[in-house]
Chain A
Amino acid sequence: MSTGIGARVKRKEDKRFITGKGKYTDDVRSENQAYAAFVRSPHAHAKIKGIDKSAALAMEGVIDVLDGHQLTGDGIGNIICGWAITSKDGSAMNMGAWSALATEKVRYVGDAAAVVIAETQALARIAAEAVEVDYEVLPAVSNAKKALADGAPEIHDNAPGNLIYDWEIGEEAATDAALSEAAHVTEMEITNNRLSPNPMEPRSAVATYDAAEEHYTLYTTSQNPHVARLVLSAFYQVAPEHKLRVIAPDVGGGFGSKIYIYPEEITCLWASMKTNRSVKWTSDRSEAFITDAHGRDHISTAKMGFDADGRITGFKVDTIANFGAYMSLFSSAVPTYLYATLLSGQYDIQNIHCNVRAVYTNTVPVDAYRGAGRPEACYLIERMMETAAREMGKDPSELRRANFVREFPHQTPVIMAYDAGDFDANLDQAREAADVAGFPARKEEAAKRGKLRGLGYSSYIEACGIAPSAAVGSLGAGVGLWESAEVRVNPVGTIEILTGSHSHGQGHETTFAQIVAERFSIPIENVSIVHGDTDKVQFGMGTYGSRSGAVGMSAIVKAMDKVEAKVRKIAAHVLEASEDDIVIEGGEVKVKGTDKAMGWHEVGLSAYTAHNLPPDMEPGLKESAFYDPANFTFPAGAYICEVEVDPETGVTEIVRFTASDDFGTIINPMIVEGQVHGGIAQGIGQAMLEQVVYDDDGQLITGSYMDYTMPRAADLPFYDVHHASTICPNNPLGMKGCGEAGAIGSPPAVINAITDAIGSNTLAMPATPHAVWSALQAAQ
């Protein structure tokens, strides 16, 4: 059976997971382990007047109680946002100070004021309750619109009116003019509900300080251990990079929430040095709800203008983005360069303008969550398109077709230059698979059973493979967004791939091995993938934004190019042939058209024995490469959702969900389909089930699975997933990325289907039974 590109290879990493032998951070236990528990604010906004640690310190087994003044006093720096956004008036963004342990004020429920280090986790948690923090409670605000209103409580001194930035993109005057001349204008106010990422593995950190070496080791639940080390060193001054090893072992899902460097990891590292103990912290789920970065939370108004033929003439959007109490690592980029730049959708729109105001509130910090900005853009565009079609009496798929981009490359007015795609092909494939033609009959049959059936579309496009370093640098990014790889061919011919990408469910140990096995014609068992350890892999930017294929694998290909070049030289020398005649196939390195050949392992051995290498050639067979992408990649597709609503209860059942995606080259269809399934499930979760709810005082209502609805098996359908691909012209494998597509494309398809079923367009996410029933009542 083939194990190369396009093969459904079963995952190499599965065995340890299905036998209980995975190694996650909380499974790590150091010698003489101590445990941390945080003293967290029960108030959304309060001044810290004092901290009385005496009762906790008096408990037997409590090692120390540390606070924010000690932390900052030791020179630990503030947590930063790594992407500078400039307001439209030219001013810099207003980043408020964020210390890993609060010093003067707490700004959200869960903000940590101190940490207890104790001999057991249970004792640490009990002692944390005994630490008495004297709070002066301040007025709080949780809603972004209210935070902008006059008289709202101000959260950071350097952010008047709670405004972080007021940013725009596109031509406002031209867009206004286009809208004023439009034959039809669709106008909507659209909220994108706030979500909690909820990877099933809670975050965890085990930090160990070695006083003799002045060296730190951190095991942590990270999607990007090298970025963690960089930030911990360069900005938080925990330790210089060469004195800090960060290991992200098996990580139980991330979805964005494990990109960031949180107060807990910083505190554990510092506390390990303070107490001279290995310090471990593992979040429980309740703590995760008040510490893991949330996602989404936009309030937008949008106007889309059409000419008499249904062609879009202008699109104007005004968005307020809730950032929570502090600016998280990538927060600023999410509602700007990952959102507004995608507002052209799959459509040829000449005039777009988007204004974004980023706002502080007394809530958990908000940052990238699966899709990050692109789901918000897609939801806006695709709800607008479906609504416009209904208003103008047009078929929603025909309205989309009337506006599809069909010539590539296509420069949108909002930075992005689409490189390839065939949007008609995706829509055609999805419509056929979804049997759209048979829908009227199914609707009629459902009506006989008292059910309301509806069908909704979503034609999404997103930008992945983030990203050309120079491009993102010019837009304010604090890092380059390349990836690195090292290919080590051992003397026996087996291969280790060291990658800066990180796998936390994506199956890199399989897909990365597939491209190597195919390239060098060796068994896939002879390839192993090394990732997640800064001592092993030199550097890397990690895994997020569907970038591991398009960027991470491209780096591997570049390193393999170098290995192949050397292999050819060695083989040509040994076999006394021309390099150009060397071919690698069937486990051998051969001279084309002859029977002269050496085994792949013999080439490896030759490189290391170095007894017979070309003159001036260095021994060994190990190459590395850094790959900096030439452009973003643009996965796209068409999703069709069909639902049945029970009008008595408002319960919606998804009876059919059809996807046609264009991901470019697919390495392992089994894994890609799994990514699509999971993405769609999270998108359906956003559309129908999930929402973080705060009350007006900033108290979290949805603080556990008792109130935050996680999608379960019975909430979800089987998914009908298809591919109609165009090859990405900008990377060596032609890959676009597949990790986020499902979460981006599905929410509008679901809501378009439900609103079609109930005949009312007034429905916000999540469309819970209560919300759907209420919409039906209001429409009567």
Chain B
Amino acid sequence: MTKISMNVNGKAVSRDVPDETLLSDYLREHLRLTGTHVGCDTSQCGACVVHVNGRAVKSCSALAASLEGAEVTTIEGIAQNGELHPMQQAFTDHHGLQCGFCTPGMIMTGVDMVNRYKAEGRDLTTDAIRHELEGNICRCTGYHNIVRAVEDAAAKM
């Protein structure tokens, strides 16, 4: 057991958890932030993507214990003052979700990719979006509307 303190979605949190606790379990089971999902056990589906210190990370593949003091943002934390994040808005505008299970990871990945491309001054083409979504699997949408949503959000972010 180790006491792990983080800043999650702008709030300081602290929990005693076993050392082997994954960040995904820390969020889901200890903080009860169940918007972060787990869809595979080989770090491939991306349903669990959150931001750690501003960068997309698969929360199923990080130990909570290794993130003492980190700033973590989950799907529950990106809407500001009741306003949806442009990426969230774009997903509903473009019907970029069906069952909703992969959606939190898709949105967090989408936000991260747009931030990086903007910071680097690179053009986020639809081909680039598809490539950047390599680590996120959706079984419902066929990705068409997800790509359109990210493209639209990128223009608005």
**Which A residues are within 8 Å of any B CB, using their own CB?**
10-11, 13-24, 26-27, 29, 122, 198-202, 250-253, 255, 284-286, 504-507, 670-671, 673-674, 677-682, 704-706, 710-714, 716, 718-719, 742
Contact = CB atoms under 8 A, between A and B. Distances in A.
Interface stretch (B51-59, B61-69, B101-109): B101-109
A97 to B, nearest CB: 32
A671 B96 CA distance: 10
B99 A714 contact: no
A713 B133 contact: yes
B124 interface: no
A250 to B, nearest CB: 7
Given A18-B103, A678-B142, 18 more contacts: A11-B92, A17-B100, A18-B88, A19-B35, A29-B32, A200-B102, A252-B37, A252-B99, A284-B41, A285-B40, A677-B143, A678-B140, A681-B142, A704-B41, A704-B42, A710-B137, A712-B137, A718-B147
B133 A200 contact: no
A680 B142 contact: yes
A285 B39 contact: yes
Contact of A10 (B44, B47, B92, B103): B92
A253 B99 contact: yes
Query: Interface of chain A, helix or strand or loop or mixed?
Result: loop
A742 B142 CA distance: 10
Nearest to B138: A200
B26 interface: no
Contact of B140 (A202, A505, A673, A716): A505
Query: Interface of chain B, helix or strand or loop or mixed?
Result: loop
B76 A252 contact: no
Contacts of B141: 674, 677-678, 681
Interface in B75-117: 75-76, 79, 84, 88, 91-93, 95, 97-104, 107
A719 to B, nearest CB: 6
Contacts of A122: 20
A713 B141 CA distance: 10
A38 to B, nearest CB: 15
Contacts of A706: 42, 44
Contact of A716 (B36, B42, B143): B143
A200 B99 contact: yes
Contacts of A19: 35, 75-76, 79, 84, 88
B101 A24 contact: yes
B45 interface: yes
Given A250-B100, A678-B141, A705 B134 contact: no
A198 B41 CA distance: 13
A283 to B, nearest CB: 10
Contacts of A673: 95
B129 interface: yes
Nearest to A285: B40
A575 to B, nearest CB: 41
A705 B44 contact: yes
9 closest pairs, A vs B, by CB? A20-B35, A252-B101, A17-B100, A681-B142, A505-B99, A20-B75, A505-B98, A677-B142, A713-B133
Contacts, number: 177
A663 B88 CA distance: 30
12 contacts: A18-B100, A20-B35, A200-B45, A200-B140, A201-B37, A202-B38, A250-B99, A678-B139, A681-B142, A713-B138, A716-B143, A716-B144
B142 A253 contact: no
Contacts of B47: 200
B42 A705 contact: yes
B39 A24 contact: no
Contacts of A284: 38, 40-41
A729 to B, nearest CB: 30
B33 A14 contact: no
A286 B98 contact: no
Contact of B39 (A13, A201, A674, A742): A201
Interface centre among A200, A251, A252 (most CB of B within 10 A): A200
Contacts of B137: 200, 705, 710, 712
A200 B140 CA distance: 9
Contacts of B99: 199-201, 250-253, 504-505
Contact of B98 (A10, A506, A711): A506
Contacts of B91: 14, 18
B6 to A, nearest CB: 17
Contacts of A718: 126, 144, 147
Given A285-B40, A678-B140, A200 B101 contact: yes
Contacts of A15: 92
Nearest to B133: A713
B145 A674 contact: yes
A122 B129 CA distance: 36
A199 B139 contact: yes
A24 B38 CA distance: 11
A253 B74 contact: no
Nearest to B108: A20
B44 to A, nearest CB: 4
B40 A671 contact: no
